[in-house]
Structure 1
Amino acid sequence: MQIELRTQVIEPQRKTFTHISDRYGDRPSTRYEEGTIDLQSTVNYHYKPLWAPDKDIYSPDFSELKLADPYSFMDPRQYYYAPYVTARADLHEAFGSTLGYLEKRGLFERLPEAWGGVLQNVVLPLRHYEAAAQMISAYAGRYGWGTSITQCASYASFDRIGNAQILSRTGISYGGGTAEPLALAKTAWLEDDAWQPMRKHVEQMMVEQDWGKSLVALDVTDRIIYQLLFVHLDDAAITSGAGSYSLVAQHLSSWFADQRKWLDALYKAWVADPEHGAANAATIAAVVDTTIATVREAMAPVAAAADSLIDAGTTDALSAAADQARAAYVTLGAVKEN
């Protein structure tokens, strides 16, 4: 008896979920779209909390920065849980390999004494900055409006803990397996005069009630700090026999390049919004200019501390980083050119 096998194709009655087809029509959708579009709570579990009786528990009014359609912004990286976790696992695996190489070759022990001082006194205290950045990003993830925005902020909050762990692991490795450098870095963050202006700035960002403003202020601060410590000092390290610092810095600068992708897209969506664009641009410009001035002043003693250890022109680089940050926002259309 001969049996003939045939393939039968059954066309699905619909190609995607209702919340996607309502917006885009019945077409195949990506996993990112399925887990992002129109998932913001607007009806269920919606009420006016006692701590904010003038707003719903989920509300676009928790920030002055608004989008008429929150899904006019989409993450260019198309991150949902699976690709995000995969990407960050690869990042930290790569850092682990770098750290293993540094330890195997004893490169932290060969780090010039002055550069050891930079790592201990200028870089490692930033693990506390990253911890604060995690809280600011998580706040935006909670109070932001639109899943496309809140999931980016939430992933960024996970990233900041990862950055703090990178710095912590670097400190432990630099200390020969002990946590003494981390204890010294904590003391510096809490007590050293050079760090107190920056610590004050960070705490003020943490208590800002407008999640959009705090997110912009954090981004401005990031632009200056990452350019100064993980680009400028990276370049100086390469030419000063401090290759171990450069190998660590590359991982943080690479992360920041990825962070820029969604933030820059969000700025463009904010300023291009047909209903709120002008007001958004005015709010962003005010935060950018105020924060640049604050960070320039707050980081000045830290840059001076670096200059007292190494001849890298860190103070001049701070001014250049601040100017470069403002120019970036001008390019994005968020700030007017002087």
Structure 2
Amino acid sequence: MAVYTAPKRTTLSGNRTFTWVKPQGKRPTEYEDLTVGQQSTPAQYAFQGWPVRFDDGRDPYTADATVVRCSDWYAFRDPNQTMQRPYIAGMNESEKALERSFAGAHAAGLFAFADEGWVRTGLAQHYMTYPFVEYGLFLALCYAEREALSDTTTFPIVFEAADKLRHLQGVVYYSFELEEAFPWFDDSTFMTAWMTDPVWQGARKAVENIIALNDWMEIVVAINLCFDRLFGDLAKVEYFSRFAAANGDVVTPILIASAEADSARTDRWTAALIEHLLDDPKHGSHNRTLINGWVEKWNAYALEACNAFAPVFDQATAQAATFATALDDVMRKQATYLEGLGLRVPAAA
């Protein structure tokens, strides 16, 4: 019986390509192919008009979702070129690496190196409370990504929101590991700490006020230029990571390092977006004034959260740094970041 073989296709001359988006380079990247044009408006691609609206007749996306103005939101590009499939693959590998790290730490008895006082206070009391911060910022970012005015701005906010959710789940998972390593481990007071402990009330105030915002770009500025750069770095890097190492805890810094890799990705796309807005030939001056004002406003909230958190620096058995030096460190790093964007550095409160 003869086997059917399809005829060989005739090779066409020339290099024929098709794209319906405007790439930054000569040809669109895979990131641009799979991102640009996914969120269309009647001004771009959806020329037939909005197919759906809110019940009260509002358009699904409107320019007044932010007071920031941009001549072309779609011209922004995420320098990380983050897409769903490689993001999921990368996070899967990261979670597997953490799981192997925890297993190795148990096998080597590394948990036992940690000072008991640090585990009871630094971890059970304070670190287990930090997921409330991450969840609050996750909620705010969920609103921001819904209102963002282009696909290229929406996607990185979505991935940052996913990061926040993954980080809080990582801390919760870590609590199970700590319970296995220390039968006396008790983190049952974390809800009370978040609601009533004075050291957390500054952070709670800031997070709740960020959640209440209606301007999606102000949310991005409040979190990525101010709160996470000051309170986030103070708590996670200067306290939880550095103090853990000083008190014999070699496991916690591994978890925080994984989260900081995500933060570095967020820093890159946020800087690119701010530069895109400040360089706008028509609206750049307007945007600079607005963003400088937001940084001033949200730095005050972030510094209030930092100052309320100060007492925890005196609670550990071994103190890796003073609160004053740790705060100076994070403020200096933020100042460098803001200056690199051409923004004004607010005076310390």
Aligned to 1:202: 207
**1:7-33 deviations in whole A, cap 9, x for unaligned?**
74235895123x22xx35996532211
The amino acid across from 1:122 in the alignment is H
- Unaligned runs of at least 5 residues, structure 2: 43-48
Q: Tell me how far apart the structure 1 counterparts of residues 287 and 97 of structure 2 sit (CA, whole Å).
A: 38
Aligned to 2:105: 102
Q: Tell me how far apart the structure 1 counterparts of residues 52 and 64 of structure 2 sit (CA, whole Å).
A: 14
Distance 1:24 1:14, change over 3 A: farther
Aligned to 2:229: 223
Q: How far off its partner does 1:75 sit?
A: 0.9
2:216 is the counterpart of 1:211: yes
Higher alpha-carbon deviation: 149-158 or 177-186: 177-186
Q: Tell me how far apart the structure 2 counterparts of residues 118 and 182 of structure 1 sit (CA, whole Å).
A: 11
The amino acid across from 1:296 in the alignment is L
2:323 is the counterpart of 1:320: no
Aligned pairs, number? 330
Q: How far off its partner does 1:72 sit?
A: 2.6
Aligned to 1:160: 164
Percent identical among aligned pairs is 23
Q: Tell me how far apart the structure 2 counterparts of residues 123 and 25 of structure 1 sit (CA, whole Å).
A: 43
Q: Is the 8 A contact 1:141 1:153 kept in 2?
A: yes
Among candidates 268, 274, 283, match of residue 276 of structure 1: 283
Q: How far off its partner does 1:97 sit?
A: 1.7
Q: Tell me how far apart the structure 1 counterparts of residues 223 and 161 of structure 2 sit (CA, whole Å).
A: 12
Aligned to 2:18: 16
Aligned to 1:186: 191
The amino acid across from 1:276 in the alignment is H
Q: Tell me how far apart the structure 1 counterparts of residues 274 and 152 of structure 2 sit (CA, whole Å).
A: 13
**1:248-289 deviations in whole A, cap 9, x for unaligned?**
222122221122121111111111111221121111111112
TM-score, length-scaled by structure 1: 0.87
Q: How far off its partner does 1:114 sit?
A: 3.2
The amino acid across from 1:112 in the alignment is D
2:250 is the counterpart of 1:246: no
2:36 is the counterpart of 1:37: yes
Aligned to 1:78: 81
Aligned counterparts, 1:93-132, within 5 A: 93-116=96-119, 117-132=121-136
Q: Is the 8 A contact 1:36 1:147 kept in 2?
A: yes
Q: How far off its partner does 1:65 sit?
A: 2.2
Q: Tell me how far apart the structure 2 counterparts of residues 330 and 46 of structure 1 sit (CA, whole Å).
A: 43
Q: Tell me how far apart the structure 2 counterparts of residues 15 and 169 of structure 1 sit (CA, whole Å).
A: 48
Q: Is the 8 A contact 1:172 1:180 kept in 2?
A: no
SS at 1:175's partner residue?
Answer: helix
Q: How far off its partner does 1:155 sit?
A: 1.3
The amino acid across from 2:206 in the alignment is H
Distance 1:215 1:8, change over 3 A: same
2:140 is the counterpart of 1:136: yes
Aligned counterparts, 1:249-264, within 5 A: 249-264=256-271
Q: How far off its partner does 1:334 sit?
A: 2.8
SS at 2:189's partner residue?
Answer: helix
Aligned to 2:95: 92
Q: Is the 8 A contact 2:194 2:201 kept in 1?
A: yes
TM-score, length-scaled by structure 2: 0.84
Q: Is the 8 A contact 1:58 1:143 kept in 2?
A: yes
Q: Is the 8 A contact 2:242 2:320 kept in 1?
A: no
Q: Is the 8 A contact 2:111 2:250 kept in 1?
A: no
Q: Is the 8 A contact 2:194 2:200 kept in 1?
A: yes
Q: Tell me how far apart the structure 2 counterparts of residues 203 and 59 of structure 1 sit (CA, whole Å).
A: 25
The amino acid across from 1:105 in the alignment is A
Q: Tell me how far apart the structure 2 counterparts of residues 138 and 70 of structure 1 sit (CA, whole Å).
A: 19
SS at 2:315's partner residue?
Answer: helix
Q: Tell me how far apart the structure 1 counterparts of residues 263 and 93 of structure 2 sit (CA, whole Å).
A: 15
Distance 1:184 1:176, change over 3 A: farther
Distance 1:28 1:214, change over 3 A: closer
Distance 1:211 1:180, change over 3 A: farther
Distance 1:58 1:181, change over 3 A: farther
**1:99-158 deviations in whole A, cap 9, x for unaligned?**
222233333343112321112223221111111111111111100001000011111111
Distance 1:279 1:256, change over 3 A: same
- Unaligned runs of at least 5 residues, structure 1: none
Aligned to 2:297: 290
